[in-house]
Amino acid sequence: MGPARDADAPPYAFEGDYHYELSDEQLLHGLSMTPLQRLMWVDEARRFVLALRAAPRTYYRDGVPVETVLPRTRESK
């Protein structure tokens, strides 16, 4: 038996998992985009994720920063 789920989480999500649901309007907007617009949207999302991965991570305890960790580069792995 897996971990308990949040009451509003979809049936496939476990406690602590991130989940996101699209509204009908968001789905219709996505379907109305041209293939080029969809590719541009995916590329913007890719760049956003890469920027987040490259950012230093600061961990907090009780609202106070306790540690900042720089992401590892391919050379440091």
Q: What is the pLDDT of residues 18-46, one digit of tens each?
A: 667 889 999 999 999 999 999 999 999 99
Q: How far apart are CA 58 and CA 68, in angstroms?
A: 4
Residue found under tokens 């789905």:
27
* CA–centroid distance for 10 within its chain: 17
Higher per-residue confidence, 56 vs 77: 56
According to DSSP, residue 14 is labeled: P
Structural domain containing residue 64: 1-77
pLDDT band of 61, cuts 50, 70, 90: confident
Q: How many domains does the chain have?
A: 1
Q: Which tokens is 63 given?
A: 């609202």
